[in-house]
Amino acid sequence: MSCRAGNSYRCGMTNTLSPLESAHHDSADHPAITTPVPDIDFAAVEAFAGQVVSDFAGAATTAMTVIGDRLGLFDAMTGSGPVSAAELAQHTGLHPRLVTEWLSSQVVSGYLRHAAGSGRFELPIEHAMALSVAASPAYVVGAAEVVAGQFATLGHLERAFRTDGAVDYAHFPDTVTHGIERFFRTAYVHHLVDDWFPAVDELVGKLADGARVADIGCGHGAATLVMAQAWPRSTFTGFDLDERAITVARSRATDAGAPPVSFEVADGTGFGPGPYDVVAFFDALHDLGDPGAVLRRAHELLSPGGIVVAVEPWSTDRLDDSIGNPIARLDYAISTSMCTPTSLAQRGGYGLGTCGGPGRRLELLTGAGLVDARVAVDTGQNLVLTARVAG
């Protein structure tokens, strides 16, 4: 894809005739087409082609990030100081030639530092905070597995586009569900107790006094366990329709020392029996097949004054307000390939989508009969919405 002259994206663009003009050119076999040909800004073409190639490079780098994460390469380099390719290969037991090439790919992407004189490589601690230090508030490497899941299921997505729009969640590999947990857990651990829940009126008081809490779409139970450990006088039940996820969640609870939490397999419209004081959704409301029906079920099972709290990925009501935002770019792509088609595969097939702004979510809350619906927190990465049962 390179051009030795150094102006790579203008290669082939300096012919006397533009590609569109060539397509319309008169010949003996094809008479001239007289439709007007627009003027082409080749500087804009070059700039956009550069953007596209940069995006492709990012996608390819994500694959290398997944490999580095799965094989423990980032872990091995964390806190080790500069290492040679041979030393890293020996320490990890991996193929030295591939380790060398992987290190080079990480250097040119800016993930690792390289000392040309010694030929040694280093993972800066600031980068390790995002890639390998699980307790860090910047730990985001789990998202790489989610992106990898997009490519692993492209065949199913293509079929969905051509037919009913649905992709069953079971088609996604287990690495995706674990990646989702790792990615979202960072925010739950660092913000749920100290930032998000205190912004919801009366919520912390209810939990401190002892409340019955339902966590809908709990996945592996990351948020459920954070709540249970913070407010041990309350009891928590996580519900998810994915039996695989519930199995993992139960294992996580055992590892955590059996806090006051249980996990059950249930569709969002069939959770219960209640009554509950709090019903929570953590990055799950948009995944539901019928979020309106689930919220009506929540209204039915909540005691008077009971609270609904929904943490959702950040988005804007106006599409144009999200242009170029990296969070929006990632979330819209994941929404197209995963969240929306898996919602369409469920009963109800609502397809809310990961994005689309807080307005539609607030409408769902009020449409279910809940009152005082509002955005309690907007971090630029998450939205925390809340409403309550009257009384």
Given a cut of 50, is residue 81 above it in pLDDT?
yes
**pLDDT score at 32:** 55
**pLDDT score at 11:** 43
Mean pLDDT of 370-389: 97
Grade residue 220 by pLDDT with cuts at 50, 70 and 90.
very high
Least confident of 27-31, 143-147, 362-366, 385-389: 27-31
Separation between Cα atoms, residue 187 and residue 384, nearest integer Å: 12
Per residue in 313-347, pLDDT (tens digit) is 999 999 999 999 999 999 999 999 999 999 999 99
Which residue has tokens 């919801």? 200
Instruction: For the chain, give every domain's residue range.
Output: 44-128, 188-322+347-388
Query: In Å, how far are 173, 197, 198, 370, 375 from 208, measured between CA atoms?
Result: 38, 12, 12, 23, 23
Question: Which residues face 239 on adjacent strands?
Answer: 216, 264
**pLDDT score at 265:** 97
Given a cut of 70, is residue 3 above it in pLDDT?
no
Domain 44-128 has CATH 1.10.10.10: yes
Which residue has tokens 């804007």? 316
Higher pLDDT residue, 233 or 257?
A: 233
Given a cut of 50, is residue 1 above it in pLDDT?
no
Mean pLDDT (the chain) is 92
SS3 for 377? strand
Separation between Cα atoms, residue 274 and residue 300, nearest integer Å: 9
Share of the chain above pLDDT 90, in %: 88
Q: What is the CA radius of gyration of the chain?
A: 25
**pLDDT score at 391:** 83
Separation between Cα atoms, residue 324 and residue 237, nearest integer Å: 39
Mean pLDDT of 117-133: 97
Q: Is the dihedral of CA 47, 53, 54, 59 positive or negative?
A: positive
What CATH number is given for 188-322+347-388 in this structure? 3.40.50.150
**pLDDT score at 37:** 65
Least confident of 9-13, 240-244, 293-297, 371-375: 9-13
Per residue in 11-48, pLDDT (tens digit) is 444 444 444 444 444 545 555 556 666 799 999 999 99
**pLDDT score at 257:** 86
Query: 371 Cβ partners below 8 Å, 6+ apart?
Result: 387, 388, 389, 390
Grade residue 109 by pLDDT with cuts at 50, 70 and 90.
very high
**pLDDT score at 5:** 36
Grade residue 287 by pLDDT with cuts at 50, 70 and 90.
very high
Given a cut of 90, is residue 107 above it in pLDDT?
yes
Given a cut of 80, is residue 185 above it in pLDDT?
yes
pTM more than 0.85: yes
Q: 33 in the Ramachandran plot: left (φ > 0), alpha (ψ -120 to 50) or beta?
A: beta
**pLDDT score at 38:** 79
**pLDDT score at 21:** 46
Structure tokens at 218: 């709990």
